[in-house]
Amino acid sequence: MTPYIEVSIPTLNDLESDILVARLSQIGFEGFEEEETSLHAFIPKTMYDESGLRQTLLEIKGPLNTEKETLFSVHDVEPKNWNEAWEKDFQPVILEDFCAIRADFHEEISGVLYELLITPKMSFGTGHHATTYMMLQAMRDIDFYAEKVLDFGTGTGVLAILAEKMGATDIRAIDLDPWSVENASENIKANHAVNISLEQKDGLSGEPVFDIILANINLQVILQSMDAFWQHLDENGVVIASGVLSADEEKIRQAAAKRSFLMNILFIRDNWMSFSLKKR
């Protein structure tokens, strides 16, 4: 069982917490728990780089104001503890009459078009975080019937599973993190999904052309993937993306324009944004 490290960071407000989540996810952190005055971030012990963490925090928070100010504290934690916390605190997510996301220890939810069974481990994608919730909102307005779909950075597999329930017949789900791939595989089976092929990989090399690309990842990966999005998107296709702070909108717009994408902001929630990209 992979050992994890928990880093606890004092925070001033929700915006600082959101910025920290966005930046830490770019240096290997895989899970986050937010409290009123602190953020708890989780990373595999083998990936932990204290100097890189310190540099990232100093860039965000600036130099310490006093010698007594604590930048962060570190504790060892096992994945089992994380899962127990999820089971204690994880509540179903219901997006109006469109879809509901519940874990295997919840009662069935009626009155929605699509019910998804997602039991999380150390991976993103339960619908609770603003980025995943906005992806679900965006998918509501798309016709997935018989479409070829890529879920880039699949996490728990929630978006790929919803795409199949909405009629997609050929779905690729990829993620760099082996823990996410294991979790997504379990959730795909739990939802009896049969049109999803799942693979651990870090990019789109070797992939075909898709009608719809779903990318709930982070700023750095989205900026690095603009060329790949263009190469692997059908002429009439669409990229739906999130994982980017609304404060970084201009960076996305510049990168999209450079690659001749038309960009449209879809939703903004809790300082995060979701957006679409289409070829001109």
DSSP state letters, 71-110:
--EEEEE-HHHHHHHHHHH---EEETTTEEEE-TTSPP--
Taking residue 100's Cβ as centre, other Cβ atoms within 10 Å add up to 22
- Is the CB of residue 263 less than 8 Å from the CB of residue 276? yes
- Residue 65: the pLDDT is 53
Taking residue 139's Cβ as centre, other Cβ atoms within 10 Å add up to 21
**Ordered structural domains, the chain, with CATH:** 4-85 (3.30.70.980), 90-279 (3.40.50.150)
**CA dist list (Å): 83 to 7, 14, 87, 121:** 17, 25, 6, 6
Q: What is the pLDDT along the chain (280 residues), one digit of tens a residue?
A: 668 889 999 988 878 888 888 888 878 887 788 888 899 988 888 889 999 999 888 888 877 654 545 789 999 886 655 556 655 667 889 999 999 999 888 899 999 999 999 887 654 556 678 899 999 999 999 999 999 999 999 988 999 999 999 999 999 999 988 878 998 999 999 999 999 999 999 899 999 999 999 999 988 899 999 999 999 999 999 999 999 989 899 999 999 999 999 999 999 998 899 999 999 8
Those residues whose C-beta lies under 8 Å from the C-beta of residue 73, and which sit 6 or more positions away, are 7, 8
